[in-house]
Structure formats: structure tokens, C-alpha cells
Amino acid sequence: MSLQPFKSIGIGAAFSPNLKANLYEAARLSLFLKSKLFLIHVGEVSDDKIKMLNFFLKPFEKDNLDYEVVYKPGRPVDVILSTTEEKNIDLLILGAVQRERFLKYYVGSIARKITRKAKCSVLLLIKPSVERVLCEHIVVNGLKDPKTEQTIKTAFYVGKQLKSKKITIVEEIKQDQVSVKVDDDKSLRKANIIKERIRLRENSRIKDIIEHIPEKYTKDVVTKLQPIFGKQGYSIGHYAQISRADLLVMNAPSKMTFWDRLFPHDIEHILTELPTDVLILQ
């Protein structure tokens, strides 16, 4: 496992009311993760813009923040994606939109396109703030998937860097793994026995993964395992919301087709209903 999975962090810098908060979040994260920050601006260079960005990032200079601003005109989605590839960016930060009147967040259309196409990890922020909000509780998926091991390791790494106190690994178990349908008392008992077995099996699988993580990442943090029988990708978001997690770490989906969007599953559920900040790992 590489000790520093994120060498470079990218963020789109559009001149919106959220700019300051977005920059602060990105800069702080770059410092925590010891990575280089790339500000990607869709548009031409101008003195005003340079001045403004410099002004916003001034407070971080004393901490030796390493950053670079990229100016590139074009369509936002293309610009950001191409810059990510050119600059070898490992982690892209995107902001979410709040649905008016409700305390619900979703990913806007541009950010959504980027999320689907990006080849690097993506961090979706629901409410960037100028002041630091502690990231106390991280929820990470424990799906049975080849990517999961890396995801959990990265989650522990991020947790260590952000000084999180608690990491919950949620194992989503598909309903159809429980082969018995509940009809009466007898089948209910059977189903519960099967569920208990699956639960134990999943827990031992995750525990095995955790044991392979260097101890310095796991010792200061409370680790909890939570098996859930439910819809993959959706129930973990629901759980993160209930348990008031500050960050949700997920595997990137294997591939996306048109049908996946029409009948949303996995990550698409999360994109329409952001429960909290979400980190999607490639």
C-alpha cells in the first residue's frame, strides 16, 4: 500500500459565492494529505482572477501549501477532465448543490458528468466551510469486491491524516443472499440463522482486511463493523445519514451504462441524495 495515495488534488475554481469555502476546504485537505493542490479554472487568465485566488490562499502560505493554478478555456466538463489527466491529479474535489427548502443535497449535472467519467478519485463536498469542521466519523463500504481492500486502507489513511475518531465499515449484503423467504415462524427462524452466518462471515472477511493494515493507522481510531441487509449503494448512504457520518468512502463503480442511470443503483443513488461528504475511490 502506498503511504500517500493522493499526491495531487484538483479543484475547479469558478468565481461563485462558494469559492472561498471551496478553496479553504481544498487547501486544508492538501495540507493534511501532504499533496499538491491544482486549481482548475475554466476560462482565460486575468490579473483580477490571479489576485483573488492569491488573496484567498494567503492564509495557507505560512504552512507551505504547494499549489498551481491552471487556466484553460472550454466546456467545463472537458476542461476539468483533461486537466486531471494532464496533471496526473489523484483526487478531484467537487461541490454539491442543495435542494431548496429541503436539507437535501444532490450532485449537479456538470459535477455528475465529471464523477461518472473521471479516472481519478472524487470527493464530493456537501457544505464547504471556511472554518474547519472536524471529520470525526468515517463510514466506508465493505462490499465483497476486489477494490474494497484498497478502499478500506485508504479510508484508514485518510482517517489518520484527518484525525478521525471512528471508522465504521458497512457491509451491504444483498437480500437475495438470504436464500430463505420469510413466510412463517419456521422460515423466519431459518432466515435469521442464515443471516447470522452471513454476518459472521462478512465480519471475518473485513477483520482480515483490517489486520493487514499497518498498525499505526488503525490503533488510534475506533473501528466498528456494521452488516446491513439492503439495497447496495443506497443503504450505506442512508446509514451514513443516520449515524451522522462526516465522510462516506466508497468504491468507484465498475462501469456505467445508460441503463444504470435509468435504473439507479450503487453510486447513482448516492449522487441523487448526498448523505454527507462522499469520497469515491478509483
Does 185 interact with another protein (rule: CB under 8 A)?
yes
Binding to another protein (CB under 8 A) within 85-144 occurs at: none
Contacting another protein (CB under 8 A), which of 76, 108, 230, 253?
Answer: 230
Q: How far is the CB of 245 from another protein (least distance, A)?
A: 13
**79-90: b or e for each residue (b if 16 or more CB lie within 10 Å)?**
bbbebbeeeebb
Nearer to another protein, 36 or 269 (CB): 269
Binding to another protein (CB under 8 A) within 189-218 occurs at: 189, 191-192
Helices then strands (H, E): number in the chain? 10, 12
Binding to another protein (CB under 8 A) within 239-268 occurs at: 239, 241-242
Q: How far is the CB of 36 from another protein (least distance, A)?
A: 39
Contacting another protein (CB under 8 A), which of 72, 229, 253, 260?
Answer: 229
Nearer to another protein, 76 or 253 (CB): 253
Does 188 interact with another protein (rule: CB under 8 A)?
yes
Which residue, among 265, 257, 210, 258, has the nearest Cα to 237 in the 3D structure? 265
Contacting another protein (CB under 8 A), which of 184, 254, 255, 259?
Answer: 184
Nearer to another protein, 161 or 243 (CB): 243
Instruction: Give one DSSP letter per residue of 128-148, joined into a string.
Output: --SSPPP--EEEEE--SSTTH
Contacting another protein (CB under 8 A), which of 68, 85, 183, 220?
Answer: 183
**7-41: b or e for each residue (b if 16 or more CB lie within 10 Å)?**
ebbbbbbeeeeebebbbbbbbbbbbbbebbbbbbb
Which residue, among 240, 236, 232, 242, has the nearest Cα to 265 in the 3D structure? 232
Region binding another protein by CB under 8 A among candidate stretches 37-45, 67-75, 208-216, 232-240: 232-240
Q: How far is the CB of 18 from another protein (least distance, A)?
A: 25
Cβ-based burial of 153 (10 A; exposed 0-12, middle 13-18, buried ≥19): buried
Q: How many CA atoms lie within 13 A of 172 on its CB side?
A: 22
Residue type, 165: K
Cell 476486489, residue? Answer: 146
Which residue, among 238, 269, 260, 264, has the nearest Cα to 170 in the 3D structure? 238
Q: How far is the CB of 159 from another protein (least distance, A)?
A: 19
Using CB under 8 A, list all residues that contact another protein: 181-185, 187-189, 191-192, 224-231, 234-235, 238-239, 241-242, 269, 273
